[in-house]
Amino acid sequence: MAEPTIYEISSSGRTGFQFHKPDVPCAEIPAELKRDELPFPEVSEVDVIRHFTRLSQLNYAIDLGIYPLGSCTMKYNPRINEEMARLPGFAMTHPLQPLDTIQGNLALIYQLQEWLKEISGFAGVTLQPAAGAQGEFVGGLIMRAYHRSHNDLKRTKILVPDSAHGTNPATSSMSGFEVVNVPSDSRGNIDLEKLKAICDDCVAGLMLTNPNTLGLFEEHLQEVIDIIHQKGGLVYGDGANFNALLGVIKPGEVGFDIMHFNLHKTFSTPHGGGGPGSGPVAVSKKLVDFLPAPIVGIIEEGNDETPPLYGFITPETSIGRMKAFYGNFGILVRAFTYIAMHGATGLRKIAENAVLNANYLKMLLGNAYNIPYNRKCMHEFVAEGFWNDAPGIHALDVAKRMMDYGVHPPTNYFPLIVKEALMIEPTETESKQEIEHFAEILKTIAQEAHHSPDLLHTAPHHTPIGRLDEVKAAKDLVLCCWIPPEE
Amino acid sequence: MFTPHTDAERNAMLTALGLHSIEELFSDVPEKYRFPELKLPDGMSEMFAREYVEGFADANASTKEFVCFLGAGAYDHYIPAAVDSILRRGEFFTAYTPYQPEISQGTLQTIFEFQSLICNLTSLEVSNASHYDGATAAAEACITAYSYFHEKRKRIILSHSIHPQYREVIKTYLCGIDGIELVIADQDDHALSDPRNVSKFINDDTALVMVQYPDFFGRIYDFSDLIQEAHQHGALVCMIVNPIALGILKTPGQMGADIAVGEGQPLGIPLSFGGPYLGFIAARKELVRKLSGRLVGETVDENGKRGYVLTLTAREQHIRREKATSNICSNEGLLALAATVYMTLLGKTGMQQVSDLCYQNAHYAASKISELRGFQVLTSQPFYHEIVVQCPLPVDHINHHLLEEGILGGYALEKVYPEMKHCMLLAFTEKTNKEVIDVLCEVLKESNHG
Amino acid sequence: MSTPKDLKFSETDEWIKVKGNSALIGITDFAQSQLSDIVYIEYELDVDDDFEKDETVATIESVKAAADIHAPVSGTILEINEALIDNPEHLNEDPYGSWLFKISIDDPSEVDALMDAETYDRFCEDRGN
């Protein structure tokens, strides 16, 4: 049976939480400003705990097994991170407290800014963006502000490779640019000739994901960057796939001008069922003054006896504020803890094992799946979820069948340049045995696709619920529920 | 540490790949830049990392030791134990966006219930699955309105008594959209003038009028007439609301507003130095296709069993790409769960109780402070749980004094409203009471003499 | 489904059926099958609005995709098929019987420049894979 909604288990008059009575004299609320009845559920604490615990059991999660969603970097979320973020010294600080009462927070933010600069090779960092997409938006607005500061108003276009994340084009248009697609070549790189043809002095910049969404390192990285720079454009790096590059290359050194990080991917902060994330943005020297305000800096140098005094700084030509206060601080604490535990050696090991796992898994699949652009991959690769000799089977069927084997399917139907794509990112936290087990499942499904296709068409069979009617959901549009009327 | 391979396993995997060293996997990386040195401290064991990170936390003063009268967009409320107990379930916090509904019903149903609670709280018909925070939700509401009118109406009017940081964020968000004319109403008047004055800026080119309720200074107004006037010009109205206040106060839906956005932090989410918080957006049904962010809808599976899916996804960035209203992808899912647990646990009576406690404490404090010589309460009646107090001395000076007595004082308004000299904004929640308010007054009195 | 011979077709998969000075506009069978289950249609223009060739005149959403509908020729809106708002699935069921707009045509030579049924069929086949 389906879990009822919390509204359906409501019982008039029941309470789950008791507050004290006011101990101050009573002030009347003006009648014309009182709300009508609050139609909230009325349940007990045990009702609440059981309801949400039962709901949790309908979820798949990293804590239950491999979660190989391509470009999402679903790695294990260390428990120490959670404890650190909940320390009262962090969790119970108000964002507007006097500076001298929050020096610990500011020191941590400052240190994390410095570490991210060092890891990425950039000159400045903002930790304000709440997610990768907001980081991209910051990048777009910085490009806009930079060109405007040179009175260069003709730059209206942003180049986006056809293998890019969907957020890239949406970000570009939010930032006031027109999007121009750049095609890939047969090896999964940017098509250099086409890039040269498109790139003119109306280009504000290029948004480049590297490794790209095929999991491939751009083989002409330097040339691509040079082409854009020669025309006066800026190169934006989408850091969603930065896990493969920790300690391997510093994007700032190769010539990227801007890059965002996804702390919830690369630096192990939990995905939380879709957030909160955190999307710090790093920039090269010439762009530091455009960073969103405020950033944390040292406002009074310290000495041997006294630590420095940290405070907020507004960059001179800042694009402005991106959200209230300073960013998703609780997420920053988690990422900070993670980096502190790893150090330089540990970080590089993350990238090495992530890339090793992806290549090992790709090799284990052998010929069971067609892998276009099949060359040495980085942290992920893309396979095709269809076979010419298994008509009617789609990537979706493969994905749904995987659930029957108790694992999470990969990202499917993305990137768009691969037909029936299955985008697989095992991450470094999966063991050799898990990878092998996962490969066996994929191979078994490939056989089933040929011999018992119905098993795939009707999958999943062993999940809490079957395939859902998405057309009905979109047409009938039931987006909220109410307390059922009493009988 | 969190990479399980032993050396032997790593070697076996490399051998299987026909490689001699792990470095060979990175041959596509330009040699010149390959494997740079990272100048970072050596990695620490968990035990030492804990000690190290705790050192930062210990260098702060927190609301655990101090009584907090700071508000201004983030509020010190009590968080029931049940909330974090649910948040800590790995099935919730280590899951991702529910793209595969068959194995994500827990997250999906929770979001559906969150949407329901937000609709009920605001008296509006639809709610999204969450946004980054209150400020960004307000910014997205502007884009929603602009796109609802197919970019034909250009003017967006903000009341001057909207949180200053929200106004800054809106300005940043809209700067790339050349067509929009952003008007901040009454910025030349005194900060405390009536926010309903925005009406004089409404014209037939107006897409959206935005007001805050309670406003930044704590005041509450019935905006029904303003909303009616905006509607006569064909414009939409968005109210930025405090969700706790809506436990007792007249709702945006009751006043006729088209959109309500707000900061969900007061709903069981720790202060956490400003984030992660929870933006919410609710609206009338007609606006649903222009809302930003994810939506969860009810449907059935092939056996007719009720279930939930992400719906109307064709509006979103991964499908509409450059034509999407917003680029948002990750939202604040886990915090929507926190707010859902909080709201259901409190239920109808608990929400009214906490809402009323804030109101009562603030009104008691206002009456006591107005009796103090040299101090004046500038917030006019009616107000909710924040008040502007004009002090006889600079706010920093007074706050310093309060801090010595274990009190985090109010927000210095002069920083953003230069004309509000010596003015502080004080907030009162259920965590304050008669005793601590009396102490506050006592110390305020002393600070004036000392 | 066979492609009606009395229609003309654009490269963005709209059809136009000319009757004297006015015409009907809709989306092709190929377009509806690419979109799959259509759940929503939004008209960007009102009656009496003028539009240029290739201008976006409507948006169609399915469960998995969204598409802009472009005007195959320049003209003025005479009538909007409001019935589709409540029953967008008609576009899937009967693409050549479900018109979106009735329009008047500015320049008949723009119609002549569009593809005929045979050319359009080949155009679709070429994109088939």
Residue ranges of domains in chain C: 19-122
Residue A166 lies in a domain: yes
Question: How do C38-43 and A411-412 pair as beta strands?
Answer: unpaired
Burial (0-12, 13-18, 19+ Cβ within 10 Å), B449: exposed
CA angle C11/C65/A237 to nearest 5° reads 95
Confidence band, pLDDT 50/70/90 cuts, at residue B190: confident
- Range of lowest pLDDT (A131-135, B23-27, B336-340, C121-125): C121-125
Instruction: Reply yes or no on whether the pLDDT at B328 is more than 90.
Output: no
| Residue A380 DSSP label | -
What is d(CA B392, CA B440) in angstroms, rounded to the nearest whole number? 15
Tell me the average pLDDT across C41-68. Answer: 90
What is d(CA B117, CA B123) in angstroms, rounded to the nearest whole number? 10
Instruction: Reply yes or no on whether the pLDDT at B242 is more than 70.
Output: yes
Please list every residue in chain A whose beta carbon sits closer than 8 Å to the beta carbon of residue B4: 429-432
Residue A180 lies in a domain: yes
**Which value does ipTM take for this structure?**
0.97
Q: What is the mean pLDDT of chain B?
A: 95
**Domain boundaries B81-342, corresponding CATH code:** 3.40.640.10
Please list every residue in chain C whose beta carbon sits closer than 8 Å to the beta carbon of residue A474: 37, 39-40, 61, 63
pLDDT value for A413: 86
Order of strands, sheet of B279-283, starting from the edge strand that comes earlier in the sequence: B126-127, B279-283, B259-263, B236-241, B206-213, B155-158, B181-184
Spatial CB neighbours of A367, under 8 Å, sequence gap ≥ 6: none
Q: Give me the DSSP letters along A274-285.
A: T------EEE-G
Instruction: Reply yes or no on whether the pLDDT at B123 is more than 70.
Output: yes
| Residue A190 DSSP label | B
CB spacing of C65 vs B150 below 8 angstroms: no
β-strand partners of B239? B211, B260
| Helix axes A167-174 and A132-149, enclosed angle (nearest 10) | 40
Please list every residue in chain C whose beta carbon sits closer than 8 Å to the beta carbon of residue A475: 39
pLDDT value for B318: 78
pLDDT value for B321: 79
Please list every residue in chain C whose beta carbon sits closer than 8 Å to the beta carbon of residue B319: 64-66
Estimate to the nearest angstrom the gap between the alpha carbon of B3 and the chain centroid: 36
Element containing residue B157 per DSSP (H, E): strand B155-158
Q: What is the mean pLDDT of chain A?
A: 95
Residue A412 lies in a domain: no
Residue A229 lies in a domain: yes
Instruction: Reply yes or no on whether the pLDDT at A417 is more than 50.
Output: yes
CB contacts under 8 A, A 114-133 vs B, are 115, 118-119, 121, 130-133
- Range of lowest pLDDT (A352-361, B167-176, B311-320, C39-48): B311-320
Tell me the average pLDDT across B154-166. Answer: 96
CA angle A409/A412/A413 to nearest 5° reads 170
Interface check A474 vs C, CB under 8 A:
yes
**Structure confidence by residue, pLDDT tens digits, A157-204:** 999 998 888 789 889 989 999 999 999 999 999 999 999 999 999 999
Interface check C113 vs B, CB under 8 A:
no
Instruction: Reply yes or no on whether the pLDDT at A486 is more than 60.
Output: yes
Please list every residue in chain A whose beta carbon sits closer than 8 Å to the beta carbon of residue B142: none
Estimate to the nearest angstrom the gap between the alpha carbon of B377 and the chain centroid: 27
Tell me the average pLDDT across A220-230. Answer: 97
Instruction: Reply yes or no on whether the pLDDT at B112 is more than 60.
Output: yes
What is d(CA A174, CA A160) in angstroms, rounded to the nearest whole number? 14
Residue A3 lies in a domain: no
**Structure confidence by residue, pLDDT tens digits, A73-105:** 999 999 999 999 999 999 999 999 999 999 999
Alpha-carbon Rg for chain A in angstroms: 25
Residue of A nearest to B179 (CA): A176
Q: Which domain holds residue A88?
A: 80-341
What distances in angstroms separate CA A114 from CA A110, A332, B397, one per listed residue? 6, 13, 33
Estimate to the nearest angstrom the gap between the alpha carbon of B343 and the chain centroid: 16
- For the domain that residue A259 is a member of, what is the CATH number? 3.40.640.10
- Domain C19-122 architecture: Beta Barrel (2.40)
What is d(CA A98, CA A80) in angstroms, rounded to the nearest whole number? 29
Residue A99 lies in a domain: yes
Please list every residue in chain B whose beta carbon sits closer than 8 Å to the beta carbon of residue A466: 102, 301-303, 305
Residue A242 lies in a domain: yes
Q: Which chains touch A (3 or more CB pairs under 8 A)?
A: B, C
What distances in angstroms separate CA B225 from CA A353, B230, B233, one per listed residue? 63, 9, 13
CB spacing of B314 vs C62 below 8 angstroms: yes
Instruction: Reply yes or no on whether the pLDDT at A23 is more than 60.
Output: yes
**Structure confidence by residue, pLDDT tens digits, B375-410:** 999 999 999 999 999 999 999 999 999 999 999 999
Interface check C61 vs B, CB under 8 A:
yes
Q: Where are the domains of chain B?
A: 67-78+348-449, 81-342
Region of A325 on the Ramachandran plot (φ > 0 left; ψ -120 to 50 alpha; else beta): left
CB spacing of C66 vs B150 below 8 angstroms: no
pLDDT value for A185: 93
CB spacing of C65 vs B323 below 8 angstroms: no
Tell me the average pLDDT across B79-104. Answer: 97
Interface check A475 vs C, CB under 8 A:
yes
Q: Which chains touch C (3 or more CB pairs under 8 A)?
A: A, B
Interface check A478 vs C, CB under 8 A:
no
Confidence band, pLDDT 50/70/90 cuts, at residue A65: very high
Chain B closest-CA separation from residue A454 CA (Å): 15
Element containing residue A400 per DSSP (H, E): helix A395-404
Task: Name the token pair of B351.
Answer: 């929400």
Instruction: Return the number of other C-beta atoms located less than 10 Å from residue B31's C-beta.
Output: 8
What distances in angstroms separate CA B65 from CA B74, B269, B270, one per listed residue? 18, 18, 15
Query: Total domain count for chain A?
Result: 1
pLDDT value for A487: 54
Please list every residue in chain C whose beta carbon sits closer than 8 Å to the beta carbon of residue B150: 44
Helices (H), C21-94: 29-35, 83-86, 90-93
| Phi and psi angles of residue B64, each rounded to the nearest 5 degrees, phi first | -70, -40
pLDDT value for A156: 95
* B67-78+348-449 placed in CATH 3.90.1150.10: yes
pLDDT value for C129: 45
Residue of A nearest to B344 (CA): A41
Tell me the average pLDDT across A113-130. Answer: 98
Interface check C65 vs B, CB under 8 A:
yes
> What percent of chain A has a predicted confidence (pLDDT) above 90?
94
Interface check C60 vs B, CB under 8 A:
no
Inter-chain Cβ pairs, chain A and chain C, closer than 8 A: 11
Tell me the average pLDDT across A153-158. Answer: 96
Interface check C10 vs B, CB under 8 A:
no
Tell me the average pLDDT across A35-52. Answer: 96
Inter-chain Cβ pairs, chain B and chain C, closer than 8 A: 23
Helices (H), B45-187: 46-58, 81-87, 90-93, 105-122, 134-148, 164-174
Interface check C44 vs B, CB under 8 A:
yes
pLDDT value for B450: 58
